[in-house]
Amino acid sequence: MAVKLLVLNGPNLNRLGKREPEIYGHTTLEDIEENLQDVARKNDVQLTFFQSNTEGFLIDRIHAAADETVDGIIFNPGAYTHYSIALRDAIASVGVEVIEVHISNVHNREEFRRESVIAPVCRGQLTGFGADGYILALHAFLLKNKGECKL
């Protein structure tokens, strides 16, 4: 049976590729989604993508994911990571497994980025692996749901 995952991206991640490339690199969100889709095809994974700059839309999407009975969410909450209790509560309320992803290493940047209010309600956090972080998160879900991941 196909593994169903939602790939969720928060504020400013639609600007990847143009946005502070010295921190976030040159890979666009479209590139990231294509790379994920390539791995997904080889592994019988059904991916849905959603990006929003608005907290409420992200919350609504998390609720909808629970109703769609997804197997997991790969989530880069952007700056909401550091202060959105509402997103944290949304994750806690649905009981869907979430892996938090950050392109940059949030621990070697400004002090305020070191705290994630989201991480405690996630299965784990991948931070600092660039765009590969999304692929690593997909691997983690595949290893758990299928026991293997074909590259």
Query: Annotated catalytic sites, by residue?
Result: 24, 102
Output 3 or 131, the one with its CB closest to ligand DQA. 131
**Unique residue bearing structure tokens 């169903």:** 4
| Angle, alpha carbons 128-135-49 (nearest 5°) | 105
76 forms part of the interface with ligand DQA (CB under 6 A): yes
E strand residue ranges, 37-111: 45-51, 72-76, 98-102
The nearest distance, CB 31 to ligand DQA, in angstroms, is 14
84 lies in the site for ligand DQA, by CB under 6 A: no
Exactly one of 60, 83, 89, 113 binds ligand DQA (CB under 6 A); that residue is: 113
Residue 79 sits in the site that holds ligand DQA (CB under 6 A): yes
The pattern of x and - marking residues 5 through 24 that bind ligand DQA according to CB under 6 A reads -------x------------
If binding is defined by CB under 6 A, does position 88 make contact with ligand DQA? no
In angstroms, give the least distance from the CB of 94 to ligand DQA: 21
Burial label for 6, CB within 10 Å (0-12, 13-18, 19+), is: buried
- Taking alpha carbons only, the member of 120, 115, 121 closest to residue 94 is 121
| Count of residues that bind ligand DQA according to CB under 6 A | 10
Structure tokens at 9: 């991206």
Tokens of 92: 């806690």
Q: Pick the closer one to ligand DQA by CB: 2 or 23.
A: 23
Q: How many residues are given for the chain?
A: 151
Confirm if 76 and 8 have CB atoms less than 8 A apart: yes
Residue 28 found at the interface with ligand DQA (CB under 6 A) = no
Contact footprint for ligand DQA (CB under 6 A):
12, 76, 78-79, 81, 102-104, 106, 113
